[in-house]
Chains A and B, each alone.
Chain A
Amino acid sequence: MSTTHWKDYTLTGGDAVADGGQPGWYTPALDRKTLKGLMKRSDRPALANYGLWIGLIIALGAVTVATWGSAWGIVWLLVYSAVHQSATARQHELGHGTPFRTRWINEMFFHFSSFITLSEGHYYRWRHARHHTHTIIVGKDPEIQSPRPPEIVSLLINLFNLKTVVLTARDFLRRAAGDLGQGRHFIPEGEQPKVIRAARIYLGLIALIVAACFVTGSLLPLLLTIGPRVIGAPLYALLHFTQHAGLDEDVHDHRLNSRTIYMNPVLRFLYANMNYHVEHHIFPMVPYYRLPELHALIKDQCPEPKHGLVDAYRDIVPTLLRQLKDPSYHLRPALPAAAVAAE
């Protein structure tokens, strides 16, 4: 009789892959001077991009308020929330510190984006650093979205971040009380007070938003600030899930555990070019606005990108369904013959 082995993905789980220190990841051939040029930051493209984003939020927010009470109010709230939650992709980029050359501008947008996505910045940075060191390594990466076998019901519920929001509320309360949960495995002791203090500030700000709703007798203060974390979630759930879903785990080659997808300019704007995910993981220091150039330079050494979200999900959905019965199954992108897999 065969038994299905369900892996333990927690950071203290028995399925943690043992490796000594910093793993050696596959790196494509790229002239050092070219790479350094790509890593250079400039405030100008980021200010133009973020200026447009903030402008859209203000304009769409104003239209939502103006039409609130009618059916159009709901429509505009949906549009507003979809644009607002571009913050999830932006927080990620800002967390890397790459969009702006001027540090304080980067940090200002980072903490703003962190709050409106309810993803506290200090904790996020430590967790995400671990994700980049040990990308999709079981028992080491705290950001594995698609464990095997997949948790389909949980994934569907979380299309609207419903599970995430509940867990976030629990985590903020715990952290505010000094319990960092899994964070104690990747946040140095000296940095932990910052996370605890930030959780308390977040809870205070959320209480102010709720109070504003009571004072104004309207849900708008909530709907326009942190409400989009739920209302605007589905687009980003669909985008983020494509980054690694269905691909291999426990391999030190981002071409085998990450996915690049060609997308239209609107989605790339909202998603901060994170569709170039293989490239982002191989060279996380390259700002999002240089990723298309990086892609053009190394695409011959990487698998063929998927052509749009539908194309990606044509791979992902059947893979997840098959993994329900066979958790060992995964996609294996074809690597160019000249670029050998570094497994």
Chain B
Amino acid sequence: MTTDTKTWIDVCAVDDVEIEDLIEVSHDGNTYAIYRSPDDTFHATDGHCTHEKVSLADGLVMDYVIECPMHNARFDYRTGEVKSAPACVNLKTFEVKREGDRILLAVG
């Protein structure tokens, strides 16, 4: 039997995030981006672009890509993988799960 040892925090309601969009949440001094994909799955990454640490909150979500609002660096928010410059470093991703109408983020 496996035990879930992660620390899950309640970050938002399902309806706080529109389809094909993201919101920014903060916890314990860290910033996270919570995404809702076109097929209604939730994902989470670090809240700042790896290029110049710009907040991704005002970025554009298109399909499974988040584009940084400052220089258009693009990442696959499901894996954190860089899709195009100017970013060269992948985004850190975090686990999320849906419980009822709430979204939980693994921070531990």
A36 contacts B71, CB within 8 Å?
Answer: no
A132 and B71 in contact, given A22-B52, A125-B85, A126-B85 (Cβ under 8 angstroms): yes
Residues of A within 8 A of B85 (CB): 122, 125-126, 191
In the complex, which of the residues A21, A32, A188, A285 contacts B72, with contact meaning CB atoms closer than 8 Å? A285
Count of interface residues, chain B, beta-carbon cutoff 8 Å: 19
Q: How many angstroms between the C-alpha atoms of A88 and B49 in the bound complex?
A: 28
Residues of B within 8 A of A283 (CB): 69
B107 interface residue (CB < 8 Å to A):
no
Q: How many angstroms between the C-alpha atoms of A43 and B74 in the bound complex?
A: 18
The closest CB in chain B to the CB of A97 belongs to B72
The 5 closest A-B pairs by CB, nearest first: A129-B71, A97-B72, A39-B60, A129-B86, A285-B69
B76 interface residue (CB < 8 Å to A):
no
A133 and B60 in contact, given A22-B53, A125-B85 (Cβ under 8 angstroms): no
Which residues of chain A (188-233) have a CB below 8 Å from chain B?
188, 190-191
Q: How many angstroms between the C-alpha atoms of A231 and B88 in the bound complex?
A: 38
> Mostly helix, strand, loop or mixed at chain A's interface?
helix
Chain A contact residues, CB within 8 Å of chain B: 21-22, 32, 35-36, 39-41, 96-98, 101, 122, 125-126, 129, 132-133, 188, 190-191, 283-285
Q: How many angstroms between the C-alpha atoms of A284 and B71 in the bound complex?
A: 8
Q: How many angstroms between the C-alpha atoms of A132 and B72 in the bound complex?
A: 11
A126 contacts B67, CB within 8 Å?
Answer: no
A132 contacts B70, CB within 8 Å?
Answer: yes
A188 contacts B88, CB within 8 Å?
Answer: yes
Residues of B within 8 A of A96 (CB): 72
B9 interface residue (CB < 8 Å to A):
no
Residues of A within 8 A of B46 (CB): none
Residues of A within 8 A of B59 (CB): 285
The closest CB in chain B to the CB of A283 belongs to B69
The closest CB in chain A to the CB of B58 belongs to A35
B54 interface residue (CB < 8 Å to A):
yes
B86 contacts A126, CB within 8 Å?
Answer: yes
